[in-house]
Structure formats: structure tokens, C-alpha cells
Amino acid sequence: MTDVLLEIPAVVDRLRAAFRFGRTKPLSWRRGQLGALRAMLTEQEGAFVEALRADLGKPADEARRTEIDFVCREIDHTLEHLDSWLAPEDAELPATLRPGRGTVVREPLGVVLIIGPWNYPLQLVLAPLVGTLAAGNAAVLKPSELAPATASAIARFVPQYLDQEGVAVVEGAIPETTALLEQHFDHIFYTGNGVVGRIVMTAAAKHLTPVSLELGGKSPVIVDTDADPAVTAERLVDTKFLNAGQTCVAPDYVLAVGDAAARLEPALAAAVRAKFGDEPSDSPLYGRIVNHRHFDRLNNLLASGRVVVGGQTDRDAKYIAPTVLADVSPDAPVMSEEIFGPILPIIAVPDVDAAIGFITARDKPLALYAFTESESTKARILAETSSGAVGFGLPVLHLTVPSLPFGGVGESGMGRYHGKYSIDTFSHLKAVLDKPLA
Ligand code: NAD
């Protein structure tokens, strides 16, 4: 057994003891830790940017925007509102219980395990940590072994900046995660795929530990006949090819209504060239595929349709060009699983009814997007489909709004976080009834 495996029970015990002694509960500790986390991100920005480049070829600006600044904004928003979020909430009492007082009090849960994935390896470990600490909990972080440079930067800097009695980092892969999951936690927050999500939930059941599962899936985009092709294409390219398509809420495929595909195809080709140039492999704005296993998986999907733009690959460089495929059949390999890479298939559907039917016949997505000028079509989409989130006219960016809940439904996950929703996820909402004795 490795040293890490042997140490895991003691690490969790140490945090639990600190929690029991009340170390993590004072508001001053919570605020102090959030401030220290922010200092870590700003003072070590260069090291994190370099780690993200090493793991994912992530462009520096994108690394700052989608990982470092993202978590800083979450911290700032939390610090600004924390007092009001934690204030006891009055609850109306029935007449039969008056006089008296009902309140809802938020109390910390205990020790939280946060298991992160490789695609936003910093953000997806630290953004849940913000809510965990703000709610007064201790935390174990398990970053993804598939982004090893970022995982090791987290393991190096977190103990330097944060209270080691309250936060620990455990590096490792399946054996270490399995050993962690044998421990008793008070909440497990897992981001990744649904197969492992089931393993996490099964392990959690042994201890009756509540879980948040932030999973993925195929997030569809409906493009209506009245949508401006240039605006639609520009926004699709900006969001689909971010992090080379390796984003959980990336537009997965387009359902082009009526004759929309004929206008959208050239607009998408133009938007790709406008953003990344004629040779995207030279673009400083474009990342790489995380490893050769995912490169090979994605490479096999490129034959699923007619190439509108892109299609070039370089296995040594783990490069796949931003690619749009047209005339894609619903049965094509690219439609069989979440793409999680820079390939955007377009499927033609006759009308909005067919688009809605296509979506509701499949798993509930993490996000559903639509480009339409029609308010009645928007209302129909909201009423007739279910998804973690909906974005009209703009994919992905809903997750940057700290006052919106972020999470999935059905196969795309359970639970929600960001801002106040994180406080509720990482707190117990305790009901208090206070009846005067006289
Ligand atoms: P991954 O392979 O890095 O796995 C995630 C974590 O699970 C890692 O820490 C890993 O060590 C652990 N793990 C892997 N196998 C395990 C096992 N057998 N037992 C215990 N732990 C194990 O990441 P991934 O799953 O490839 O991530 C991609 C998926 O995550 C996609 O489906 C994507 O859509 C989803 N995702 C969702 C969100 C969201 O916020 N909802 C964000 C990012 C990614």
C-alpha cells in the first residue's frame, strides 16, 4: 500500500477533530480562509496558468478567465453576501402555535469530500471549496490525476495558504479515490462522468452521506429559422471550442430547424476562421485534447458527417481542429455519447416540434440552448423540456452568473451550487421552534 493510501484515514480524522472542536465554524475563520484562497490564486497565478498549459495546452487568457478569475469572482460574491445568507430566516408560524418564533438556521455539515475532473481542473475543485468553507466545513480535495500538473500545484499551494487543520489535498487516481470513499464524510461533491458518479453514490450510501453529482451529457442547441446566422455562429464557436470543446456545458450538437442549416453552415465556417485563423493549430486562442485516449476517441467520431470546416488532426500534438459536421444522422457514432471535444454535428429537423421531440426522447441534458426570436418558442422549450439549465441566445455563460444555481437533472446530475446555492448545499437547514414558557 502506498503512503498516501495509508495516510488517508488519519487525514480525515484530523479534519473531523478540528471540525468537532469548532475550528471551522467562526465567521472569522470562514472569511479568513476565503481571503487566503483568493491570495493563493492571485499570488500563484503564474504557476497555475503554467500548470493548465502543461495539462491542456490551455491558453493563458482562457486559463485566467475560466479558472482563476472565475473562482475569485465566486469568492468575492460569497464574501459580499455571506452575512445575509447565514442569517437565521424567520418562518411563519400557524396561528395555533403563536405566540412563538420559527426560524431556519444554517449549520455546517462537517467534513466534505470534493472530487474534481480534469477539464477545468482548478475551477472545479476550488469553486465548490468556496461554498464548503463559507458554510463552515472542513474539506478534503481530490483533484483529477488526468491533469497532473494542476493537481500537483493544488497539492503544493493549498497547504501553504489554507489552514491545514481545515483543508487537506489528497492526490491520486482510482485507488486513492476508492480509499477516500471508504471514509465517512458528511457530504461528497463529485464532478465527472456518470459511471463514476454511480460508484460515488454507492459508496456514499454505506455512510448515508448526501452527494452532489455534477455530471455531463449531450447539451443540445436548437437553431430556429429566424435566428441570425452570423450572431448564432459566432456565439456557438466562442462557446463550443472553448477548452477545445472539453466543457461539460459545451453545445454538444445542433438541431437546425427547417432550412436553418443551409445558412448556419457557411456562417460557422466563417466564424471559426474569424476566431482561430486559417490554421487554428497556430492560434494562441486554441487548446489541446487532454490525452491520447481522448484524442483517439474523438478522431473516430470525425467520420460521422460531411466536414463543413476543420477535420485536421495531429496525434503527437493532441490537436483536433475546430470541426463542424453536417448531414449527421441521429444514429451516427458522434451522437452516441457526450462528444467532449471540438466537433459540432448539425442535424436537420423539420420544425420546432421535432427538435423538442428529439431532446425529450433522450437523457435530460445538463444544458439546453436555443437561438430563436420567438417568445412563444422559448416558452414552449421551457415548458416541454427538462434540463439542468437553459440558455437562450448564449450558451455556457449561465454558469458564470453566481446568483444562478448550477447543476444537472436526471442523468446530468443531482444537486446545485454557486453562490447562495453552495451555502445551502454545504449546510444543514435546521428547523427551530421557540415557544415561550409563559
Ligand atoms: P476524470 O476522469 O478526471 O474523473 C473525475 C474524478 O473521478 C477524478 O478525480 C478521478 O480520480 C475520479 N475517478 C475516476 N475513476 C474512478 C473510479 N473508478 N472510482 C473512484 N473515482 C474515480 O473526469 P471525467 O469523468 O472524464 O470528466 C469528464 C466528465 O465530467 C464529462 O462527462 C463532463 O461532462 C463531466 N463534467 C461535468 C461538470 C459539471 O459541472 N457538471 C464539469 C466538468 C465535467
Answer yes or no: do 201 and 226 share one domain. Answer: no
Predicted local confidence at residue 1, as pLDDT: 63
Provide the edge-to-edge strand list for the sheet that holds 89-91.
Answer: 89-91, 101-108, 427-434
Answer yes or no: do 208 and 325 share one domain. Answer: no
Please check whether residue 337 lies inside any domain of the structure: yes
Please check whether residue 233 lies inside any domain of the structure: yes
Predicted local confidence at residue 88, as pLDDT: 97
387 lines ligand 1 (CB under 6 A): no
- Of ligand 1's listed atoms, the one at least distance from the Cα of 192 is 30
Q: What is the ipTM of this complex?
A: 0.95
Please check whether residue 277 lies inside any domain of the structure: yes
Answer yes or no: do 249 and 200 share one domain. Answer: no
Pocket test of ligand 1: the residue of 191, 399, 416 to mutate, having most ligand atoms within 8 Å of its CB, is: 191
Report the candidate in 66, 194, 54, 180 with the shortest Cα–Cα distance to residue 120. 66
Indicate if 214 belongs to the active site.
yes
Please tell me the distance between residue 338's alpha carbon and the centre of ligand 1 in angstroms.
13
Full domain range(s) for residue 380: 220-400
Please check whether residue 361 lies inside any domain of the structure: yes
67 lines ligand 1 (CB under 6 A): no
Report the candidate in 415, 412, 8, 388 with the shortest Cα–Cα distance to residue 210. 415
122 lines ligand 1 (CB under 6 A): no
Answer yes or no: do 84 and 18 share one domain. Answer: yes
Please tell me the distance between residue 192's alpha carbon and the centre of ligand 1 in angstroms.
3
Does the predicted TM-score (pTM) go above 0.90?
A: yes
CATH of the domain at 347: 3.40.309.10
The tens place of each residue's pLDDT in the chain, 438 residues long, gives: 678 898 999 999 999 999 999 999 999 999 999 999 999 999 999 999 999 999 999 999 999 999 999 999 999 999 999 999 999 999 999 999 999 999 999 999 999 999 999 999 999 999 999 999 999 999 999 999 999 999 999 999 999 999 999 999 999 999 999 999 999 999 999 999 999 999 999 999 999 999 999 999 999 999 999 999 999 999 999 999 999 999 999 999 999 999 999 999 999 999 999 999 999 999 999 999 999 999 999 999 999 999 999 999 999 999 999 999 999 999 999 999 999 999 999 999 999 999 999 999 999 999 999 999 999 999 999 999 999 999 999 999 999 999 999 999 999 999 999 999 999 999 999 999 999 998
- Of ligand 1's listed atoms, the one at least distance from the Cα of 366 is 41
Predicted local confidence at residue 3, as pLDDT: 81
Q: What is the CA radius of gyration of the chain?
A: 23
Answer yes or no: do 82 and 203 share one domain. Answer: yes
Distances (CA, A) of 180 to 119, 183, 282, 297, 380: 22, 5, 42, 30, 44
178 lines ligand 1 (CB under 6 A): yes
Answer yes or no: do 239 and 378 share one domain. Answer: yes
423: CB partners within 8 A, 6+ apart: 78, 82, 85, 86, 106, 131, 134, 135
CATH of the domain at 120: 3.40.605.10
Which residue has 502506498 as its cell numbers? 2
Answer yes or no: do 382 and 297 share one domain. Answer: yes
253 lines ligand 1 (CB under 6 A): no
Please check whether residue 241 lies inside any domain of the structure: yes
Answer yes or no: do 201 and 239 share one domain. Answer: no
Answer yes or no: do 131 and 29 share one domain. Answer: yes
Of residues 62, 74, 176, 214, which has the active-site annotation? 214
Predicted local confidence at residue 2, as pLDDT: 73
Q: How many domains does the chain have?
A: 2
- Of ligand 1's listed atoms, the one at least distance from the Cα of 147 is 3
Please check whether residue 207 lies inside any domain of the structure: yes
Answer yes or no: do 22 and 162 share one domain. Answer: yes
173 lines ligand 1 (CB under 6 A): yes
How many angstroms separate the CA atoms of 250 and 339, rounded?
9
Answer yes or no: do 140 and 279 share one domain. Answer: no
Please check whether residue 407 lies inside any domain of the structure: no
340 lines ligand 1 (CB under 6 A): yes
Please tell me the distance between residue 241's alpha carbon and the centre of ligand 1 in angstroms.
20
Pocket test of ligand 1: the residue of 178, 247, 248 to mutate, having most ligand atoms within 8 Å of its CB, is: 248
Please check whether residue 406 lies inside any domain of the structure: no
Contact status, residue 305 vs residue 325, Cβ threshold 8 Å: yes
Answer yes or no: do 185 and 325 share one domain. Answer: no
Q: Please write down the HEC assignment for all residues of the chain.
A: CCHHHHHHHHHHHHHHHHHHCCCCCCHHHHHHHHHHHHHHHHHCHHHHHHHHHHHHCCCHHHHHHHHHHHHHHHHHHHHHHHHHHHCCEEECCCHHHCCCEEEEEEEECCEEEEECCCCCCCHHHHHHHHHHHHCCCEEEEECCCCCHHHHHHHHHHHHHHCCCCCEEECCCCHHHHHHHHHCCCCEEEEECCHHHHHHHHHHHHHCCCCEEEECCCCEEEEECCCCCHHHHHHHHHHHHCHHHHCCCCCEEEEEEECCHHHHHHHHHHHHHHHHHCCCHHHCCCCCCCCCHHHHHHHHCCHHHCEEEECCCEECCCCEECCEEEECCCCCCHHHCCCCCCCEEEEEEECCHHHHHHHHHCCCCCCEEEEECCCHHHHHHHHHHCCCCEEEECCCCHHHHCCCCCECCCHHHEECCECHHHHHHHCEEEEEEEECCCC
